[in-house]
Amino acid sequence: TFGAGVTAQLGAMRINEEIDALESMGIRPVEYLVSTRIVAGMIAITPLYSIAVILSFVASQFTTVVLFGQSGGLYDHYFNTFLNP
C-alpha cells in the first residue's frame, strides 16, 4: 500500500541519515518529504478516480446493451432516472 511504502522509505532515510543531512542544511524534513508525497498523491488520485468512474459507466452500459441484449435507450433512461442530479 501507499502508506506502508512511504513509511518504510522514510524509515530507511532516517537510518541512512538522509533526514539528518536535510536538517543540517536547514531544510525542514517533514514539509519537504511528507507534504510533497501527500500533494503528489492528491494530484495522481483525482484523474485516476475520474477515469475509473467513466470506465465503470462504460462497462455497465456494455454489459447491459451487448451482453443482456437491452436497448441503449432503455439503459440511458434508467441510468438517468437513478443517477442523482
Question: Domain boundaries in the chain?
Answer: 2-82
The pLDDT of residue 2: 73
On whether the CB atoms of residues 41 and 35 are closer than 8 A, the answer is no
The pLDDT of residue 1: 63
pLDDT digits (tens, 9 = 90+) for 1-54: 678 988 899 999 999 999 999 999 999 998 899 899 889 889 999 999 999 999
The length of the chain is 85
The pLDDT of residue 37: 87
The pLDDT of residue 57: 95
Beta strand segments in the chain, E: none
Cα–Cα distance measured from residue 5 to residue 7, given in angstroms and rounded to the nearest whole number: 5
Q: What is this structure's pTM?
A: 0.64
Grid coordinates standing for 84? 442523482
